[in-house]
Amino acid sequence: GQNIDQPTEMTATEGAIVQINCTYQTSGFNGLFWYQQHAGEAPTFLSYNVLDGLEEKGRFSSFLSRSKGYSYLLLKELQMKDSASYLCAVMDSNYQLIWGAGTKLIIKP
Partner 1 sequence: GAVVSQHPSWVICKSGTSVKIECRSLDFQATTMFWYRQFPKQSLMLMATSNEGSKATYEQGVEKDKFLINHASLTLSTLTVTSAHPEDSSFYICSARAGFAGDHQPQHFGDGTRLSIL
Query: Interface residues with partner 1 (CB under 8 A)?
Result: 30-31, 33, 35, 40-45, 48, 50, 87, 91, 94-97, 99-102
Name the minimum Å distance from CB 43 to partner 1.
5
Name the minimum Å distance from CB 17 to partner 1.
25
CB nearer partner 1, residue 39 or residue 109: 39
* Positive or negative: CA dihedral 62, 65, 66, 69: negative
Exposure b/e, 52-79, CB count within 10 A at least 16 = b: eeeeeeeebbbbbeeeebebbbebeebe
How many of the other CB atoms lie within 10 Å of CB of 44? Answer: 10
Name the minimum Å distance from CB 102 to partner 1.
6
CB nearer partner 1, residue 67 or residue 94: 94
Name the minimum Å distance from CB 16 to partner 1.
25
- Strand pairing report for 103-108 and 18-25: unpaired
Q: Are 75 and 60 in contact (CB under 8 A)?
A: yes
CB nearer partner 1, residue 43 or residue 109: 43
CB nearer partner 1, residue 72 or residue 86: 86
